[in-house]
Structures are given as structure tokens and as C-alpha cells.
Chains A and B, each alone.
Chain A
């Protein structure tokens, strides 16, 4: 990811005011956001050339690209926060699975198109409402990244919401499949808004939004979409967590094996 650009140094005057401890926490959190977008973007890119129809193949590739763009802004910022000379490439390519901080949802396999749509819907619903809060509730650089990504996340959520409705209110087969996907994947949605110790600490400092408001907006949107789709919202689900603390499902290792292959095989390789 060689770059001919640098970020305007005026973009984050707050950076100098953070104590080393705050800076370290913010670094960990920005890394978590970057990992999340990277892993989901990678998953979506696996559809490239395999989409059910050309237009949706393109849609998923486009969404993957948006997420990758967000990922780069986040890793660049993380590298700056860490201040140890690591680059965005080091952070993406040279950390192990246990060092990755993405929630479990985004590493789940693509499955069939319904699985991918449900995974995307659960993530987009969080992403969109989270970014909206991040705009007003964060450190300046994170707010700038959120402002940029929110415009894109809006298209993503519209896309996945409409597909939930098409599949739910579509044919017997599409309905059967999307119901199965909801049963399998809903249990990963709770982690998105369950704050970790790190997140609680940053929330207490007002650097990142509280998740209650995010969750309320998510629930309202999910109810609207699933009702329109004639689908039931799962109730009383036991939610699986751990990814944000580095405890992952087996799937992440396989993703990283492919994603990091070049840098692991030819260390220091550049374009």
C-alpha cells in the first residue's frame, strides 16, 4: 500500500494532548476498527467473480473496496498513535490471529448469498449507526474518518436492507435460506455493541460513543426491515463474544494465512 500522500498535520491537534496511556488505548481501539473493516472487506472480496449475478458481484466488490479504504485510513492513524515506526502494512500483514481485534461476526464464512447478506446487514446496521455517533463524539481524526465512511456505509446499509427484504419476502427457497442465516448469524450481532474493558474506558473519557444509543437505533432499523421482509426478529439469543479481545473462531486463521501470504513468504516485499 505505498503512498504518495501524507495526512495534513493540522488534522489532529488533540494528538499531542493525549497521555501515553490514552494514546495506547486509542491505538488499540482504532486497530480494532481497522481489523473489522479489513476482515469483512476481505470476506466480501472472496465473492469477486462468484457473485450470483454480475451486478451483485460488482456491488460486493464495491463494498469491499470502500471497507478497504476505511481500513487504510484507520491503520495509518493507528500507526501514528502507536508511534513505534510500524506502518499500515506492518499492522495488517504482520500480526497474528490472537492480535487481531475484529468482532467474530465479520470473520464468519461467506456461506451462501443469504449468509453473506445477513452478515452484511448485521454489520452495516451497526457500522452506519456507530459512525453517525462517532462524528460528534470522538477525537478529531476518528470523526474525520467517520464523516468520510458514513456516506459509503449509507449505501451499504441500503443495499443489505433491501436484500433482506427481497430474500425474506421472495420465494420459498430464498425465505428458507435467509431464515437459516438469521438463526446462524444473529448470535454474533451482540458483540458489536457489548463494550469491552477497553471500550468502557474510552467511553468514560468521551472519546468514543456510548453503545446504548447505537443499539437503540440498530434495533429500530432491524425491526423496520425484518417486518417489511415478513421475517421474525430472533428473541432471547445467547450472544457470542470474544473477537474484540482476541479470542477468535477458527476462521480467522485461514483468512490471515491467505491475506498475509506474500508478506510472510517474502518479508519486506513492496509494490
Chain B
């Protein structure tokens, strides 16, 4: 078997586009904005990712999935780095990613609305559009939802509860 030609960085990025978030499988890790850098030095490939939330259990799965995807193409000298700073923000989520999220039934983050300000107790919460009926008449049920990155909302029109991907900036 012939060893693969030295990898072009662009090809690695293409392959990463095929690695998805295990908890929101419609999103690629590029949509999510967690891949910070790809470095190719000879056969050595270094992929640097940044965690969404410190305790996010998906990060290990994602690192393994990246490794498997690249191994499948014959790239064997791999380093997956976990970089904490600068901390991930939802601003890094792509527009395509946001559209895919809403179509999947999860309200995408609204930039600049991180509502975690500690002085904003019982403050007005962000108006989040219901991903199902598109109504803006919704209310926050809990700042903590089904996973670390989501808050729980309910639609006042269609009555459906839904996840909101919290703004994190």
C-alpha cells in the first residue's frame, strides 16, 4: 500500500466538515466553531479544538471522532489539542450552523444576549423565536436545559417546550 501524499491543509478541513456534534448531529464541528487551527508539518497533523463548556462530555467523543475520520483517510500521525483560551463563544457558530439548528428544532443563539449577567436578576429574558411555529411569544423555563449548552424555553402559542442554544460570549 502506498502512503498517502502529504496532506493539504484544505483536505483536512474538508474531512473535519464531516465530523458532527454527537449531541446535535446536524451540526458539523466547523458549524459549531470549535476547530481553532489545523497544522500540517510533513506527516504530522495537529488539530486544535476548544471546548464549548468545561464539562461537556461531547468533547472527548469529538476528539475521538476527529481521530477516526483522519485515520480512515490514512493519516496516522495525529495530535488533537484542547485549547482553553480564548474561550469558545457562540459568535463562532456559523450562519449555516444556526440555520441547521433551527431546522432541527433548537433555537439558535442570539448574539450579544448572554443573559448571565449577575446583576440582571429576574431581568428581562431574551426573546427567542419558537423553532417550530416561529412565534416570538415564548418564555424561559430554565437557564439550564438538556445539555450544558442549552436553556429550556416554552412557546406561548403552540405550547411546545424547546431547547435554546444559549448565547455564550
Q: Is the Cβ of A58 less than 8 Å from the Cβ of B142? A: yes
Interface string of A61-84 (1 = CB under 8 A from B): 111011111101100000000000
Interface of B (DSSP majority class): loop
Q: B131 in the interface, Cβ–Cβ < 8 Å?
A: no
What is the total of A-B residue contacts with beta carbons within 8 Å?
A: 118
Contact residue among B54, B64, B168 (Cβ-Cβ distance under 8 Å from A69):
B54
Q: Is the Cβ of A8 less than 8 Å from the Cβ of B81? A: yes
Interface string of B76-93 (1 = CB under 8 A from A): 000111111111000000
Which residues of A in the span 158-186 have a Cβ within 8 Å of any Cβ on B?
158-159, 161-162, 165
Q: How far is the CA of A138 from the CA of B154 in the complex (A)?
A: 42
Best-surrounded residue of A6, A58, A144 (most CB of chain B within 10 A): A58
B111 to chain A, nearest CB (A): 15
Q: B127 in the interface, Cβ–Cβ < 8 Å?
A: no
A47 to chain B, nearest CB (A): 12
Decide: A143 near B85, CB < 8 A? Known: A4-B67, A151-B168, A162-B122: yes
Q: Is the Cβ of A6 less than 8 Å from the Cβ of B83? A: no
Q: Is the Cβ of B63 less than 8 Å from the Cβ of A5? A: yes
Q: B14 in the interface, Cβ–Cβ < 8 Å?
A: no
Q: A202 in the interface, Cβ–Cβ < 8 Å?
A: no
For residue A72, which residues in chain B have a CB less than 8 angstroms away from its CB?
54-55
Given contacts A58-B152, A155-B116, could you give 13 more A-B pairs where the C-beta distance is less than 8 Å? A4-B60, A6-B82, A68-B54, A69-B55, A69-B56, A70-B55, A128-B118, A144-B85, A151-B168, A155-B144, A158-B118, A162-B121, A165-B122
Interface residues of B (CB under 8 A from A): 48-49, 51, 53-57, 59-60, 63-64, 67, 79-87, 114, 116-122, 141-146, 148, 152, 168
Q: List 10 A-B contacts (CB under 8 A).
A: A4-B80, A8-B48, A11-B83, A63-B144, A65-B53, A148-B54, A157-B118, A161-B121, A165-B121, A165-B122
Interface residues of A (CB under 8 A from B): 2-8, 11, 55-56, 58-59, 61-63, 65-70, 72-73, 128, 143-145, 147-149, 151-152, 154-155, 157-159, 161-162, 165, 221, 224-225, 228
